[in-house]
A and B are shown apart, each in its own frame.
Chain A
Amino acid sequence: MSFYSVFFIFVITNRLSLMKGRVIYFAILTVLVFSCRSATNKTNEFIFPEADSFPAGEAEKLSSEAIEDISRNITSPVEIANLLQTMEVPFSPEYLASSVDANKQGTAFDRALTLGILGADLGYLNMYEKTGSSIDILSSIKKLAEGIRVGQFFDFETIKRLSLNKSNLDSLLFLSIDSYTQIDKYLRDNNRGQLSSLIIIGVWIEGQYLATQVIKQYPDTMLRDRIGEQKIILNDLLLLASPYCNLDNEFRELCKDLQYLKERYRDVRITFTLGDPVSVPKDGGLVVTQTETSNVEMTDEQLAGITELTSSIRNKLIDDN
């Protein structure tokens, strides 16, 4: 309780004792106690910042460190694919953006966004070790990367060799992810941050599309929670796009779509329960188990709304390309 609250109670108490109005006194105290309690609860729930959009000036002030952090926070498609494998969901080429033709990407906007979308697809393919399809996607990625002059960061031959060998999934994942990390850094260092943001948004949208499509066929609590938890990331994603929202019509449209998606997430509740982590040494390392938990409350209608809009945004981006 703040100093002002205590002072307020003190003043009110004195006034009321003079008035002998005990009923009013208890009523006010009750209101204060409950308002304090609800304020405490809020700290245990994730909510969007009050403002619906970020002032362009604020977003432009984001340090490169902050942008790098945001890009790291986007759920890796590898993590989504891993979750699908845990759920024993079989691989399906239907989820892939196979209709994309890398040769038809006319603008840098299209190329960067598609590079992100196909990057997520590559993560999905790699995890399921579907090497035949990944070679086609790799060729498209190569063209797109060259189209925005970042082809030098993609070691296509090695990735292709590792894909065909099926020998070392970790090396393949490392090289694929590392190539994207290098491209992202290079673009930001060379004042082409708008393309870096587009790649990150593309990766996220495709990962989100994959998760929401799978849950239609394979309802699962863990996957459902993961979709709901994207509320935490969506705000950062908007922050990343906001400096460029007025750059051209393509960006304007994309920002508008992300805002609509944010609206669909507004009433999804993420709450946290408290607890201390438990650490146990094991096999030369340390194993830490969190007893704190996060919980997602999302209705079927909310999930359906998010699924429908995600699909519409993603398909529009692919069809436009």
Chain B
Amino acid sequence: METIQKKAAEDTSEMTLVHAAKKGDLDAFSELVKRYDRNVFRIAQHITHNEDDAQDVVQEAFLKAYQNLAQFQENSKFYTWLVRIAVNEALMKLRRHRTDRTVSIDEDVETEEGTMPREVADWGPNPEQLYGQSELSDILKKTIQGLPPGFRTVFVLRDVEGLSTEETAEMLGLSIPAVKSRLLRARLQLRDRLSKYFKSKRGGDGQP
């Protein structure tokens, strides 16, 4: 029963909460925070690679969303609007750590390089079982961190968070073809880099 009630509470329309929050109902806004804080944190961590920055991004994104709720036009989902704010905050954090301060969603995406796979060796049947959970997490983090921000952001929104191409385009202010092209290259580059760890091998010493 508890589960059913919980589910019913979660189904409370997002817009009902947004309308209440717009009128200054902090409990309603608190509900929106609880609904999306995990996602915003995950996205922020993927972009910034830094837990302190990710925590700041979560706080700043929700605070900005609250302060600017009146500007939210309601022609998209609240979550789409929120992630857009969070991605901008995360990119700003990343920029502050760079001396060249050039980080943008368009970085390193003008080249066609990286589209053709360099490594075509097949992987074993359950490659992730070659490693323990924490070692696997480290491999996955290290690998995705090596992608340019514009690629890993698209990959995280589409393939980790499960958002549609259209939603991702709206969140990042990109065209649909641009999202598709970045997603393809992000997927292929990740695959290429993971092959080093996952390809079938006879020795099994973990070295490529």
Is B a genuine binding partner of A? no
Contact residues of A with B, CB < 8 Å? none
- B: which residues have CB within 8 A of A? none
